[in-house]
Structure 1
Amino acid sequence: MFAENQALWWQPQTLLNEQSCKILLGPLHIVLQRKTGEWWLATERVPQSEHQHVELQQLSQWPQDHQPSRFVFQHEPLQFCLRPLLADRPVVVKTHQPVYVPPGEQVTFYISSPVSIRIELQQPNLLLQEIQTQRLSDTWFGPNTQTGELCYADKTQARHSKEELPKRVHKAVTPVMVKNNSSQMMSIEKLSLPVPYLSLYGLADGSLWTDQVILDHQDEAELSELHISKQMPAGSDGAERLAKPRLYMEKHGLFRAFSDLFAHAASRGSL
């Protein structure tokens, strides 16, 4: 029923008639069943259950505690596909403790953010549902209530070693290179990941990565710049692009957002 390499869980999967399956993807549980002329679908989030690896389970029957949504066809598709994609808003991540980058230093942090899943049927292609693997709270990012944008809020350990990254199948890792080219100590307490403007990649081990983000901080706030690099981290050869950016922005759009962020840093001593 399932693809041979279950680590690559975003690949198409086939269900035979009257077969049911359950997919455990971090805190998100997905139940699917193919029937004659129909597909059934149910989803739920179980926050206390974060599976480190995707689990695909074949079920003998539809679970009675799940109310299905029914999709009716003259000739039902044979396959389904779970397509990960990044959040539809920037994710403002707050560090668990302040992190300092001395003047002249350059460091790369690895910051994770939860993905959404598009549950699709194939042959013909049809989107059944798009759902967040983890529900995040809303937050406002900007220097005041008039300037800024609505974002999601999350927390991060701001790890700077790939080896320290935990295995979390429902999150994508964004490498954030911070260059402190100023004469001041840089304090990082929070930053905004521009995930709608990043591509998403899948690696052979089933992990998800995004384009690299580069922040270049100068003494003058207006000289702070953000770049999106298409270069994947070392050891990520053979990455498959799973999703294009949701949004494309004018050249100076992200520049202004992060200039506001650094201006805030200058006045409060935080990022």
Structure 2
Amino acid sequence: MFAENQALWWQPQTLLNEQSCKILLGPLQIFLQRKAGEWRLATELLTQAEHQHAESQLLTQWPQHRQASRFVFENEPVQFCLKPLLADRPVVVRTHQPVYVPPGEQVTFYISSPVSIRIELQQPTLLLKEVQTLRLSDTWFGPNTQVGELCYADKTQARQSKEELPKRVHRAVTPVSVKNNSSQMMSIEKLSLPVPYLSLYGLIDGSLWTDQVILDHQDDAEMSKLQISKKMPAGSDGAERLAKPRLYMEKHGLFRAFSDLFSHSASRSGS
């Protein structure tokens, strides 16, 4: 990267006149060029499995056959900035295998979701384009077609250890603490991650994290009590807030978190 600290790819960067660059943020490929009186921009999504890290390089010329959007100025800015932000809808993540939380237990899962990138010019700030780093399919989350909301769909390993998290530059990690304060076993098959209500943070190692989500389930409750904590996980010193929440909720809101609406495994096995 052209920034002083290459891990912090979200910092403003400078292109000289007639310079071009290519930047990879996971599967998202970004081409930028600064010319006298204009900037050029092109983006492309590559196969997700092939790219998980941030890479950049200066190009000797604009790639042939690469179609670009042109932004024209009397005096063009000299800097650009790639700003990550969380999705504009909740992300419903399906676990790869059934997960059960016994009565009275509290467990923290580390669940990631893909970010979008705002491609901006600096001084003054000008948004050129906002693009997703991964295209997620749409899904409806709720007990029926009349109650619920449109979300994005994704999958999760529901890891319980930070050390097991793969380094993926285009995904932000959300610590989700689930408290089963009911008297029965809780089954988790899908979880709705309320990312529009969370802030996004960048750590000095280049990883992205969100606020912690705490979900508290009681007996005979269809909705979970949701709390958003500003406390970062241990070992996450030096966090910089990169984006505010897109939406705001009450301090202790109710949240329909699980696909089974907190139905317990015992009740399902008897049906």
Secondary structure of the equivalent of 1:163?
helix
- Kept in 2: contact 1:80–1:122 (CA 8 A): yes
Partner of 2:263: 265
Secondary structure of the equivalent of 2:263?
helix
1:156 partner amino acid: T
Report the alpha carbon displacement of residue 265 of structure 1 after superposing the two structures with TM.
2.5
Secondary structure of the equivalent of 1:196?
helix
1:100 partner amino acid: Y
- Kept in 2: contact 1:221–1:262 (CA 8 A): no
Cα gap change, 1:160 to 1:64, in 2 (>3 Å): same
1:263 partner amino acid: L
Report the alpha carbon displacement of residue 263 of structure 1 after superposing the two structures with TM.
3.3
Partner of 1:228: 228
Report the alpha carbon displacement of residue 48 of structure 1 after superposing the two structures with TM.
4.1
Q: Distance in 2 between matches of 1:257 and 1:217?
A: 10
Q: How does 1:21-60 map to 2 (within 5 A)?
A: 21-60=21-60
Q: Distance in 2 between matches of 1:101 and 1:264?
A: 11
Partner of 1:68: 68
Cα gap change, 1:19 to 1:89, in 2 (>3 Å): same
Cα gap change, 1:155 to 1:28, in 2 (>3 Å): same
Partner of 1:243: 243
- Kept in 2: contact 1:143–1:264 (CA 8 A): no
Q: Distance in 1 between matches of 2:190 and 2:268?
A: 12
Partner of 1:151: 151
Partner of 2:17: 17
Aligned length in residues? 267
What TM-score does the superposition give when structure 1 sets the normalisation length?
A: 0.94
Secondary structure of the equivalent of 2:235?
coil
2:22 partner amino acid: K
Report the alpha carbon displacement of residue 51 of structure 1 after superposing the two structures with TM.
2.8
Secondary structure of the equivalent of 1:172?
strand
1:239 partner amino acid: A
Cα gap change, 1:15 to 1:49, in 2 (>3 Å): farther
Cα gap change, 1:168 to 1:50, in 2 (>3 Å): farther
Q: Mean alpha-carbon deviation: is it higher for 153-162 or for 215-224?
A: 215-224
Q: Distance in 2 between matches of 1:49 and 1:18?
A: 33
1:248 partner amino acid: Y
Partner of 2:204: 204
Structure 2 stretches of 5 or more lacking a match?
A: none
Q: Distance in 2 between matches of 1:18 and 1:36?
A: 7
Secondary structure of the equivalent of 2:47?
coil
Cα gap change, 1:68 to 1:141, in 2 (>3 Å): same
Percentage identity across aligned positions? 82
* 1:219-265 Cα shifts (integer Å, max 9, x gaps): 1215731111110000011100000000113457x50534x856353
